[in-house]
Chains A and B, each alone.
Chain A
Amino acid sequence: MFNQIFTIANRIIYQLIRDRRTMVLLVAVPLVIASIVGVSIPEKQMLDYIAPAVLAVLILFFGFLLTGISFLRERSQGTLERLMASPVSKLDIVGGYLLGFLLFAVLQTMILFFYLIYVLNVSFHGELWQIIVFEIIIGILAVCLGIFISVFARNEFQMVQFIPLIILPQMFLCGLLWPVEQMPEYLQWIARFLPLTYGVDGIRALMLQGQGLLDIGKEIGVLAGYAAGLMILASLTLRRGASA
C-alpha cells in the first residue's frame, strides 16, 4: 500500500517540478503577499498579530487550489479513470496526493516562516518544528478539501470560482484582520464552524504566546476532525465499480 502511495506522491512531485513556472509562482506568490502585508502594516504589534494568520491562510489557500486543480485535471484528462481501473486503491490515491502536496506545503511554510521572522521581523516565541507540524495539519485539510470540491467542478474556470465561496468567507471570519470575539454574535457563531478559525487560533498560540502543540489540543482536534471527514467524503467520490 505504501509503495503505491509513494508512487503517486512521486509522480505529483515530478509533475510540479517539471512545470517550472508553477514552481516559481509557488515560492514567489506567498512572498509577494507576505511583503505586501509587511509593508502595508506599519505598526509592529498589528503585524505580529496578522502575520501568523497569513501563514495559515496561505497554506490553506494554495493547498486547496493546487490539489483542486490537479485533481480536476486527473478527472477531466481521464487519468483518474485509468488509475481506478488499475490495482491502486482510493486510499492510495488520496494518500499519494496528501504526501505529494504536503511536501510543497512544508516547503512553502518554511520559506514563508523565515521570511516573516528574518525579513519582516515578526515576533516569534515558539518552536519551528511545532509550527511545521501544525501547518501540515492545515495542509492535510486543504488537500482533502481540494479533492472533495473538485468533484463539483467540470473545468479549471469553475474550480477557481470555488475560491470566493470556500476560502474567502473563511479568510474574513477566521480572525485574520479582526478578532473573532469582536465580531457580531451571529458571525462569531458562523466562525466557530469554519476550520480556518481554528487554524489561525492555533498558529497564533504557537507563534505569539509560545504555547506548544499540547496546549492547542482543541484546535488540532477540530482541524483533524474536519480533515478526516473531508478525507472520507473525498474517498467516497472515488468509486470503483460505481453503478451509475
Chain B
Amino acid sequence: MAKRQAATAAVEVDKASFSYKNIKAIDELTLQVPRGISFGLLGPNGAGKTTLIRMLVGLLKPKSGSIRILGQTPSRQTAHLIGYMPQLPSLYTELSVIQNVNFFARVYQMNDKRQRAKRVEEVIRLVDLWQRRQDSVMKLSGGMKQRVSLACAIVHQPPLLFLDEPTVGLDPELRFTFWEHFADLTHQGTTLIVSSHTMDDAAHCDRLIFMRGGGVIAQGTPNELRKATGKADANLEDAFLYYIHREDKSV
C-alpha cells in the first residue's frame, strides 16, 4: 500500500476542461506532477493558470476529464493535504499577523494548543515577521502581507502546496527569499505547484509547463526547454516565444 502510494503522482490531470460560460479557460489539459518537486505553471495573463489551480484545490469542478491530487479526487476530505496561497493576500486585515496564522492553523484542525502555538511561531519566524506578530495586517506592506499569506498556507505542513503568483509585487530580494523558502519545502518532501508569468520564477522550478489558451504548449525542466530553441544562450523567455511561434505555425 505504502509502495503504491509512493508511486502515485502528486497531481494527475487527464483531459480536464473548464469554461466560464462561453469562454474556454482550460482545454483538455493533461498533466502529471511527481512528488517532492517544484512545478511551475508559466504563461501570460489569461492562459488558465489560476483556473487550473482553482480546479486542483477543489474550488472548481472540471466540466470534463478528471483530476486527482495525491491519488484522490479533490474534495473537502482531501483539503487538509493541501496548502493554498491565492493570488490576493486573502487575510483578515483587522487581525494581527499571529491571529491570522493561528486562525488558519485551527481551520486546518491543529487542535493541540501547545503544538499549534509552537508551529505558529515557527512559520512566523520563517517568514521573518516575528517582530511584527502583534501588528494588524492592514499596517503591513504588500510584501509583508504576501509573507503572512505564505505562513497561513504552510502552517499545517501540507504535503502539497499551491501558490498562485506568490511573487507578484515583490522586490527582487524578497523574491529570492521566497524561493529559498520554497527550496527548503521541496527538500522536506513538499510538492509545490507555483503559477507565475515571470520567467525569473520559472528558472527556479524543477519542472514546468508553458501554458497558453488553457492548454499546455510545452513541458520539461528549464534546461530542456531552453535547449529546445537550438540557441546556446537562450533564456526561458526565448524558449516561451519559440514554443508560441512553433504552435502558431502548426495552426
The answer to whether A3 touches B111 (Cβ under 8 A) is yes
Give A240 to B106 CA distance when docked, in angstroms. Answer: 20
Assess the A18–B80 pair: CB atoms within 8 A.
Answer: no
CB-based nearest B residue for A77: B90
Chain A window 204-244, contacts with chain B (Cβ cutoff 8 Å), 1 for yes, 0 for no: 00000000000000000000000000000000000011111
Complex interface: chain B residues within 8 A of A243 (CB): 18, 60-63
Categorize the interface residue count of chain A: 20 to 34
CB atoms of A87 and B20 under 8 A apart = no
B19 to chain A, nearest CB (A): 7
Judge whether B58 and A82 touch: CB under 8 Å: no
Segment of B36-44, B81-89, B180-188 engaged in the interface with chain A: B81-89
Contact string against B for A residues 78-90, beta-carbon threshold 8 Å, 1 for contact and 0 otherwise: 1101111111110
**Contact indicator B79/A85 (Cβ below 8 Å):** yes
Q: Does residue A4 face the partner (Cβ distance < 8 Å to B)?
A: yes
Report Cα–Cα, A82/B92, bound state, in Å. 11
Taking the complex as formed, is A7 at the interface, i.e. its CB lies under 8 A from any CB of chain B? yes
Whole-angstrom distance between the Cβ of A200 and the nearest chain B Cβ: 34
CA distance A60 to B94 in the complex (A): 25
Known A7-B107, A244-B19: A87·B76 in contact at CB below 8 Å: yes
Asked if B20 and A85 sit within 8 Å, CB to CB, the answer is: no
**Would you give the shortest CB distance from A96 to chain B, in whole angstroms?**
10
In the assembled complex, which residues on chain A have CB atoms less than 8 Å from the CB atom of B177?
A: none
Instruction: Point out the residues of chain A lying under 8 angstroms from B21, CB to CB.
Output: 244
User: Which residues in chain B, 66-122, are within 8 Å of chain A measured between CB atoms?
Assistant: 74-76, 79-80, 82, 84, 86-96, 99, 103-104, 106-109, 111
Q: How far, in angstroms, from A241 to B92 measured CA to CA in the complex?
A: 24
A15 and B92 contact, Cβ closer than 8 Å, known pairs A81-B86, A82-B86, A87-B80: yes
A contact residues around B107 at 8 Å (CB): 4, 7, 83, 86-88
CB distance from A4 to the nearest CB of B (A): 7
Nearest B residue to A83 via CB reads B107
Residues of chain B at the chain A interface (Cβ within 8 Å): 18-21, 54, 57-63, 74-76, 79-80, 82, 84, 86-96, 99, 103-104, 106-109, 111, 136, 152
Please name 26 pairs of A and B residues whose Cβ atoms are closer than 8 Å in the assembled complex, sorted by A: A3-B109, A11-B92, A15-B94, A18-B94, A18-B96, A77-B90, A77-B91, A77-B93, A78-B86, A78-B90, A79-B92, A81-B59, A81-B86, A85-B58, A85-B82, A86-B80, A86-B84, A86-B104, A86-B107, A87-B109, A241-B61, A241-B74, A242-B59, A242-B61, A243-B63, A244-B20
Can you list the 7 inter-chain pairs with the closest CB atoms, starting with the nearest?
A78-B90, A78-B88, A87-B79, A7-B106, A85-B57, A241-B61, A85-B84
**Which residues of A are interface residues toward B (Cβ below 8 A)?**
3-4, 7, 11, 14-15, 18-19, 77-79, 81-89, 240-244
